Amino acid sequence: MGFVYPQYEFRPSADSAAAQPVRHAVVVIGAGPVGLATAIDLAQSGRRVVLLDDDTSVSHGSRGLCYAKRTLEIFDRLGCAAPIVAKGVTWQVGKVFHGPKQIYAFDLLPEGGHRFPAFVNLQQYWLEKFLVDRALSLPNLDLRFASRVSALEPHADHVGLDVETPAGKYRIEAEWVVACDGARSPARKMLGLDFKGRVFEDRFLIADVRMQAEFPTERWFWFEPPFHEGESTLLHKQPDDLWRIDFQLGANADPQTEKEPARVIPRVQAMLGPDVAFELEWVSVYTFQCRRLERLRHGRVLFAGDAAHQVSPFGARGANSGVQDADNLVWKLCAVLDGHAPAALLDSYDAERGAAADENIGHSTRATDFITPKNAAARLFRDAVLELAPHHAFARRLVNSGRLSQATHYSASPLSTPDIDVFKGGPAPGSPALDAPLKDGWLLDLLKGGFTLLAFGETAPELPDLPIAIAAISEADDPQRLAHQRYDAAPGTVYLFRPDQYVCCRLKRFDATAIRSAYARACGKEM
C-alpha cells in the first residue's frame, strides 16, 4: 500500500485577533525536516515556539532519503528516532560498478558497539510525518498550517512578520526568526539575499519505483552501466517495496519531457530487464547546485537547511546538514534567551555551520566533477581511476560517487578550548561525541540535557556554581571497555560537552578553574 498523505487542519490563531502584534521569542518558518527539528528542539528545551508552514500536509515524493548516524543520534535526542529507524531501511555497505562489473565495495560502519546504523533510508514524507507527530505532542510548540509568511521586517530588537492564512492576514513579532523555508526560500528573497556558488548543467532523473526486487539493502552506484550507456545511475532501497533510482541525463535533457512515463519506463525497464514488473510512484528531474549564503545570520534572522545552502544529492548531505544546523543553533538561541550568553554567541553559528556548508559544498563539487567530467582531460582521469580501482587501493580512494555525510568537526571553532593534555585518541575539542554501549544503556543518553561534564571514574566531581550536569562512567559501567577506548580515558579523565553533544574541552584530570573557563568560552563570553 502507498503512503496516505495526512491533511492537517488550519486553525485560526488568537494572534490574528489581537489589537497589537503579539511578540514571540522565536518563530520558525517552514515545517520541513529542518524547521521541525528546530522547533521540536526549542520546545523540548522549555521554550514556547511558533512554527509557520504554508502547506497542510507533508512533502510529496521521496526527496531527502538517506539519514546518517549522527542525524539519527540527533533525532533520538529529539524523541523521534525510534519510529524513523523502525520504518526505515538500514544499510552500511555500498558497491561501485564500472560498466557491468563491480570494482569495489565499502563498509561505512565496520565495527560493532553502535546504537544506530550508518544510514537509514526513509522517504521524506514518512520522516516529516514522524516529526509532525512529535511536534504536535509538545504543548509549547504552536504549529500553524496554511500560514504563509508574506513579509519580513527586521528591527533592532525584533522582526515583524506578516502571515497570510485562509482566515485573512495578521502580523506577529519575534525576537528571533529561524528561516527553514527551503531552497527557494521566500524569507531569503524578502531580505534581498542570494546564494553564491555553482550551478551545474547536468540533469538527473529521480524515479521512485514500486517493485519486488532481489537487490540487497545496499547503495549501488554505476559509472557507464550497460543499461544506461555513457552516464551514471544510483540505486537505493526504500520501505514499502519502493526503490529510488537516479539516472544521469546530461546537460541538454528537457526536464518536462524526461519526466513523462513514456521516457521513464523504458529507462527503468532497460535496467531491470523485460520480465520485472514495476510501477512508477514519483518522478522528478533536478540539477546539481553547490551554493550558499555568504552569511547564515542576518541580524535577528538566521537561515538553516536548504534556505542557507544547497548541495548535490549524491552523498546525502542536504537534509543531514540541515538537521545538524538546527542541532548547532538551538542551544545557542536558548542560551541567549536565558541570558546565559551574549547575542554574539549566535555569530558562532555562522562560523561553525558556515564551515560545515563549505565542507559539504567542497565534497559535493568534487563528486559532481568526477561523476560528470567537464572536459576531455577530466574524463581521461576519471576513466583511468575506474580502470585501476579493482586492482589498486590508492585508486579506490580517488573514486568519487559521493562522499557520504558525516558530522562536521569544528576544528577552528572559537567556542572550543584547545587541549593542554596529551590524548592519543578520542574526540578532540570541536568534535561530536562518540557513542558507546554501557552496562545500563548508551553513552549519549548521558548527554541529552544541557552542558554535561562526563567523568571517567568511581566518583564524579562537583560544580555547584555552574549549570552543568555531571555524569560518571566507572569501569563497571563499561564492561566492554569501548567507552574508555573511544575516549582515550583513564580514571580521572573528564570531557565537557555542549548541549549539542560536541566537546568543549577535555582534561586528563579534573580542574575546576579550567572547566569554568571552557564553559565561559563555549557560551561566547571569551570570544
For residues 126 and 463, the model is more confident at 126
**Judgement on whether residues 349 and 463 belong to the same structural domain of the protein:** no
Mean pLDDT calculated for residue range 98-110: 95
- Residue 441: which domain range? 437-522
pLDDT digits (tens, 9 = 90+) for 351-373: 999 999 999 999 988 998 999 99
Report pLDDT for 2. 75
Domain-embedded: residue 400: no
Nearest alpha carbon to residue 303 among 212, 407, 393, 179: 179
Which of 80-89, 171-180, 381-390, 460-469 has the least mean pLDDT? 460-469
CA gap 386, 190 in Å, rounded: 46
d(CA 162, CA 121): 37
Q: Which residue shows C-alpha cell 584547545? A: 418
344 and 447 part of one domain: no
pLDDT tens figures, 43-66: 999 999 999 999 999 999 889 899
- Which amino acid, one-letter code, is at 516? R
- Predicted TM-score (pTM) of this structure: 0.96
pLDDT exceeding 90 applies to what percent of the chain? 88
Q: Does the pLDDT at position 315 exceed 80?
A: no
Single out the residue in 311, 339, 362 at which a domain terminates.
362
pLDDT of 104 > 60? The answer is yes
Confidence of residue 287 (pLDDT cuts 50, 70, 90): confident
- When pLDDT is cut at 50, 70 and 90, the band that residue 398 belongs to is very high
Q: How far apart are CA 254 and CA 269, in angstroms?
A: 21
- Check if the beta carbon of residue 447 is closer than 8 Å to that of residue 497: yes
C-alpha cell at 144: 500553524
Residue 67 three-state SS: strand
Q: Are 328 and 432 in contact (CB under 8 A)?
A: no
Of 334, 362, 390, which residue constitutes the final position of a domain? 362
Are 441 and 350 within one domain? no
For residue 525, pLDDT beyond 80? yes
Averaged pLDDT for residues 343-354: 97
CA distance 450 to 335: 10
What average pLDDT does the segment 485-489 reach? 98
Q: Within a domain: residue 356? A: yes
Task: Provide the pLDDT for residue 313.
Answer: 77
Answer whether 440's CB lies under 8 Å from 433's CB. no
- CATH number for 449: 3.40.30.120
Question: Quick one: average pLDDT of 374-387?
Answer: 95
Is residue 299 included in any domain, yes or no? yes
Burial of 522 (0-12, 13-18, 19+ CB in 10 A): buried
Cα(291)–Cα(471) distance, integer angstroms:
41
Q: Pick the closest to residue 171 from 188, 156, 153, 185 (CA basis).
A: 153
What distances in angstroms separate CA 56 from CA 8, 144, 281, one per listed residue? Answer: 5, 9, 21
Residue 182 and residue 84 share a domain: yes
CA-CA distance, 142 to 161, in Å (whole number)?
16
Within this chain, do residues 154 and 298 fall inside the same structural domain, yes or no?
Answer: yes
For residue 1, is it within any domain? no
In a domain, 208, yes or no: no
- 314 in the same domain as 172: yes
Query: What are 519's three cell numbers?
Result: 564553559
Mean pLDDT of the chain: 95
For every residue of 166-220, which 3-state class applies, written as one string?
Answer: CCEEEEEEEEEEEECCCCCCHHHHHCCCCCEEEEEEEEEEEEEEECCCCCCCCEE
177-224: pLDDT as tens digits: 999 999 999 999 999 999 999 888 788 999 999 998 888 999 999 999
Cell of residue 456, nine digits: 571517567
Cell 562512567 belongs to residue: 473
The CATH number given to whatever domain includes residue 24 is 3.50.50.60
The amino acid at 141: L
Same domain as 300, residue 169: yes
Q: How far apart are CA 402 and CA 371, in angstroms?
A: 9
User: Per the domain annotation, does 64 fall within a domain?
Assistant: yes
* pLDDT band per the 50, 70, 90 thresholds, residue 465: confident
Residue 110: all three cell numbers together: 565496520
Contact 95, 221 (CB under 8 A): yes
Instruction: Give the bridge partners for 127, in sequence order.
Output: none
Cell (9 digits) for 473: 562512567
Write the CA distances from 379 to 189, 207, 223, 234, 382, integer angstroms: 38, 27, 12, 19, 5
My answer on whether 336 and 478 are in the same domain is no
Same domain, 354 and 497: no
Query: Do 357 and 442 have their domain in common?
Result: no
- Residue 259 in domain: no
Residue 28: name the closest of 181, 138, 172, 195 by CA.
181
Within a domain: 420: no
pLDDT value, residue 78: 97
Domain closes at, from 362, 384, 407: 362
Each residue's pLDDT tens digit, 418-449:
999 999 999 999 999 999 999 999 999 999 98
What is the average pLDDT across 450-472?
92
Total domain count for the chain? 2
Degrees (nearest 5) of the Cα angle 282, 288, 294? 125
> Please, which pLDDT band fits residue 1 given cuts at 50, 70 and 90?
low
**pLDDT (mean) for 411-420:** 95
Q: What is the mean pLDDT of residues 457-470?
A: 89
Burial of residue 101, with CB atoms counted within 10 A of its CB: 0-12 exposed, 13-18 middle, 19 or more buried = exposed
Per-residue cell: 86 = 523502525
Q: Which amino acid is at 211?
A: M
Q: Is the dihedral of CA 236, 239, 242, 244 positive or negative?
A: negative
As a whole number, mean pLDDT of residues 456-471 equals 90
Is 270 within 8 Å of 209 (Cβ atoms)? no
